[in-house]
Amino acid sequence: MDSFVEQLKRGTEEEFTEESAWDGSVVNTTSSSLPTVYLPLLPRYLWHPTTRGRKATEFQETKKACLNYIQDALLQHQWQRAAEFMTNYLETLESTSAEKRMAAPEVIWRIGTEILCHHPKSSIEEFNYFAERMKNLGVKRYLKVCLEHVFHLLCNGLIDDAYQNLSLAEGWRYGEQTVAQDKELKLIQAYKGLLDYYNWAKKRKAMLELDGNFADSVEQEMHSFFRQAAVNLKEIIKIPGVWDPFVKCYVDLLEFYEDYDEVRQVLSEYAYNSKFPPNPNAHVYYYQFLKRQGESKKTLKSVLKILHEIVPSHELMLEYNAMLQKSKKRKNHRLGLEIIFTLLDFAGWKEHVKAWSCLAKQIKQILENSSKHLDWVTEEWNSRKDWWPAFHFSHYLAKRNWQENESLACEKALVAGILLGKGNFKSSSLLPGIEILASSSFNGRGRV
């Protein structure tokens, strides 16, 4: 307030100049805050627009203000205050305006859940009560509310309640609404499948611990859970999308019952069907399954090749590289080199000792084998020689590596020595010299 006074004292000329711009005659200003439109050719009385349209009733205006208060309170985490205004805002459910009345349940549902999630005095019973009310508020939202309710229960560890709710929701039918809410229904079925799997797993564990008479009934239950889970999970995996947890559970189920063909089919669909969004995990799952099944190296390598194209920095690339090195074919070795170089292009692998040691070994092998394939190394190095030195072999990194991880430093030093060494890579006879050179470039502390 003082600054305002100061401002005025200094003499604000601006407002006076604006006033003098008016000619002293009739100022037909409207009392609304709309700006005037100065169009000199237009008659004067058309300069001032007026608002048209239905005036909002005070009921609607006060409810809007109420909503603002609620939002402020939520942002400031004042849950009690929010709850207080919520009691008043609930009246919008009975608003005379049909559109407001139809928009109200969604707002109330969202705000209500927010308050009940965070309010210190609220409990899970309160939440359940509220969720039940919300389900009754409108059919269009029924399944969505159910789903969110189930999520909340799951987050709070109430798996059985969640399961009950899911079962109820799964059986819900309401004429054409069922079709309109198809997506939610599918999700509900999927999660039910997931929980069925969870129950199945519990039963399985119980069965292993039990023995004798009880094992039979438990086994029956286990099988029924399996059937239910299998149906739902199979359905959901058919829909294009990312269903990783569901796929894993489904595969686990099928493997227990040794239905490997189904697994193979499901996983290859999941990984290779172009309708599905690209998902590296799909390939990983497929690869892991094939490995478990003891498939030939050839198939494994082909799966990993596709993975390499999608995610060159995947951790399975090391394994892939190892597989390629073991093979006899020359092109596999070439591919392996390419893979390991690409791997080290990524920042996540910078400090990975194994990767560096692989690279070092491979380069050493190439140099030792009569440098026949030196051009491979040159080729790979060419695209990298402008930025690898700064990326991997900087002075600062070198010092840090020595301090933190000596083995890493050693491997890197070896590679650095070879790649950065003066002149082109000559015959292997230069190799020992290069090693000494490399070690000396690190203050002579390295040993190879």
Partner 1 sequence: MEEEDTRDYSEPCVQCSVVNWGLTDEGRFYCKSCHNVIERTKEVLTSDVVPNTKIQSISRGFRKRKKIDKGWEWYVCEGFQYILKKQAEALQTLGVCPQMKDEILCNFWRRYLQKSKQAYCTTPASYTSKALSMSDISTDVDSEPERISIHGLSSFSESDGDLQTESSFGHVSSIGNASARETTSICSGSVDGGSYLLKRKKGNLRMSMPMTLSFCYIALLWLREPVTLSDLLRFVIDGHIPYLNAFQYFPEEMKLYGVDLKIFRVESWPVYEDVHNKMSELAAFLDLPCFPAITDSCFLHPNILCIKYLMEANLPDELHNWTCRVVKKINVGETDFLTLDPVNKSARKVKYDVLAAAIIIVVLKLLFLLDDQYEWLNANFAGKRNQKNKEGCLWFDFKKWYKIMKKSVDVEQKKLDEERARCLWKCEKPLFYSAKEKSVVLKKRQMVVNLQRQFGALSGSMQVAEKQSPSSFQLNWAEENTDGNCFHGHILEGVLQEKGNSLTTMNTKYWLCTVKLCNEKICGHLTHYKESDFPQSYQFVLNLFSFLLRVPASLIHEEVCLIEHKLFKTKLHRK
Which range of residues in 94-102, 250-258, 321-329, 399-407 is near partner 1 by CB under 8 A? 94-102
Cβ neighbors of 45 (< 8 A, separation 6 or more) are 28
Distances (CA, A) of 263 to 137, 269, 286, 365, 375: 43, 10, 9, 40, 44
Q: How far is the CB of 63 from partner 1 (least distance, A)?
A: 8
Instruction: Closer to partner 1 by CB, 101 or 399: give it.
Output: 101
Answer for the pair 439, 385: CB distance below 8 angstroms, yes or no. no
Instruction: Closer to partner 1 by CB, 79 or 285: give it.
Output: 79
Exactly one of 78, 122, 164, 327 binds partner 1 (CB under 8 A); that residue is: 122
Answer for the pair 30, 48: CB distance below 8 angstroms, yes or no. yes
Number of alpha carbons in the 13 Å side-chain half-sphere of residue 432: 1
Told to check if 159 binds partner 1 by CB under 8 A, we report no
Cβ neighbors of 73 (< 8 A, separation 6 or more) are 79, 81, 82, 85
Alpha-carbon distance of 365 to 360, in angstroms, equals: 9
Told to check if 395 binds partner 1 by CB under 8 A, we report no
Exactly one of 137, 201, 323, 431 binds partner 1 (CB under 8 A); that residue is: 137
Alpha-carbon distance of 245 to 255, in angstroms, equals: 15
Alpha-carbon distance of 300 to 323, in angstroms, equals: 9
Interface with partner 1 (CB under 8 A), residue total: 65
Which range of residues in 112-120, 192-200, 234-242, 265-273 is near partner 1 by CB under 8 A? 112-120
Which range of residues in 127-135, 149-157, 203-211, 375-383 is near partner 1 by CB under 8 A? 127-135
Task: Tell whether the torsion through CA atoms of 112, 117, 122 and 123 is positive or negative.
Answer: positive
Which range of residues in 81-89, 165-173, 338-346, 352-360 is near partner 1 by CB under 8 A? 81-89
Q: How far is the CB of 139 from partner 1 (least distance, A)?
A: 5
Distances (CA, A) of 160 to 165, 166, 172, 173, 209: 9, 10, 19, 23, 22
Binding mask 166-195 for partner 1 (x = CB under 8 A): --------x--x------------------
Exactly one of 49, 71, 101, 432 binds partner 1 (CB under 8 A); that residue is: 101
Residue 28 carries which DSSP code?
Answer: -
Q: How far is the CB of 176 from partner 1 (least distance, A)?
A: 10
Which range of residues in 64-72, 224-232, 289-297, 409-417 is near partner 1 by CB under 8 A? 64-72
Told to check if 75 binds partner 1 by CB under 8 A, we report no
Instruction: Closer to partner 1 by CB, 88 or 427: give it.
Output: 88
Told to check if 21 binds partner 1 by CB under 8 A, we report no
Q: How far is the CB of 309 from partner 1 (least distance, A)?
A: 48
Opening angle at CA 260, ends 258 and 264, nearest 5:
155
Residue 423 carries which DSSP code?
Answer: S
Instruction: Closer to partner 1 by CB, 96 or 424: give it.
Output: 96
Answer for the pair 152, 165: CB distance below 8 angstroms, yes or no. no
Q: Determine the length of the chain.
A: 448
Which range of residues in 133-141, 165-173, 210-218, 341-349 is near partner 1 by CB under 8 A? 133-141
* DSSP track, 70-137: HHHHHHTT-HHHHHHHHHHHGGGGG-SSHHHHHHHHHHHHHHHHHHHHH-TT--HHHHHHHHHHHHHT
Instruction: Closer to partner 1 by CB, 79 or 197: give it.
Output: 79
Which residues contact partner 1 (rule: CB under 8 A)? 1, 4-5, 8-9, 11-12, 15, 18-19, 24-31, 33, 54, 57-60, 62, 65-66, 68-69, 79-81, 83-88, 90-91, 93-94, 96-98, 101-102, 108, 112, 115-116, 119, 121-122, 126, 129-130, 133, 136-140, 174, 177
